[in-house]
Structure 1
Amino acid sequence: MTPVQTHTRPPVHRRSGLATITVTIEVPADDPRLARRITAALGALSLSGGRVSVASEGVPAAPEGPTAPPQASAPRPALVIDVPGREVLVRGEPVALTRLEFELLAFLARYPGTVHTRAELLEYVWETPDTGIPGRTVDVHVRRLRSKLGEFDGLVGTVRGVGYRFARSRDVEYRTSPATPAVDRLLSI
């Protein structure tokens, strides 16, 4: 059996939910096939979204075998709405939103493509009936929200005479559960 050592450092990163795992495997120098199998298995693991770096010490270079075509890693969403963490990130940078701006964005993004009237927004975001709040309150908050979203201001669209809708986009990630550490994967070689 080959001695294997693993070390996870640091624990799972708070924002990304990723961990760095260092694995040291001692492979006999006279068994280059085992080293190729391990490298191929790690390459398959990296295709599932992780980054894998393989470094060898004192092992003669093995002839290259057929490899899978390189695939680009899954693109990171440009706009992240993290509901449990009450955080909005634009290209990894946090956006400072007020409580109502965050609630408005989270509500609209929860139902992309659905048009919401001002009365619905007052009821579900402000948690008050339509009466007693000035009619342009929703409009002012939407305008402020758009200015803070920068290049993504177009995601919050106006439906003239009706209300507002959040556009569907592949650049948006809407998180409804807290980031959990990646489940350990069993690697069969």
Structure 2
Amino acid sequence: MQSSKLRSIILSSIFAAITAILAQVQFQAFIVPFSGQTLGVGLTATILGSRLGGLSLICYMLLGVIGLPVFSGFSGGPHIITGPTGGFIIGFIFTAYITGWILEKTKFNVAMAIIANIIGMFITLAFGVVQLKYTADLSWTAAMSQGVYPFIGIGIIKAILASWIGITVRKRLIKAQLLFNANKRSEHRKTA
């Protein structure tokens, strides 16, 4: 039991670090930069599922809030969370949880992962655009054109990548007994 909890903590920490690394792959085109953060979120949710995925993104956000440079552009601090792009980061937690939850309730395969990750993308964008609108004092039209529309196409590509890579890595982690298969647990409960 203790080794299982330790493994969960280690996996959550590793994926918080992976998200932090991918966040540094970025370029600024609008108020909201294009970055690899959302790819990290998709990978985290697809591989770890709802509970561990959400925990990992909470860790990621808290590391940034205390000032570690884990957000895009090697930034950190509470002002990022309360600023124009903070809603996206807060949305990552809900995205990871809901994406993972969808996969746990259906099936961990590439097709379902793509659907779950695209839904997750829209959750992130919804959280982000609301905070962007109010903190940057933009109209809804301007907020959508700065924080949603430019990210849909690249977001779908990242959702497909996160799904394909995530499902492949998840299967290997389960085979190596480094990750518990949530679908097997629910199947076992139905037959018990």
Shared fold per TM-score greater than 0.5: no
More helix by share: 2
Bin the TM-score by the shorter chain.
under 0.3
TM-score (norm 2): 0.27
TM-score (norm 1): 0.27
Q: Which has the larger radius of gyration?
A: 1
More strand by share: 1
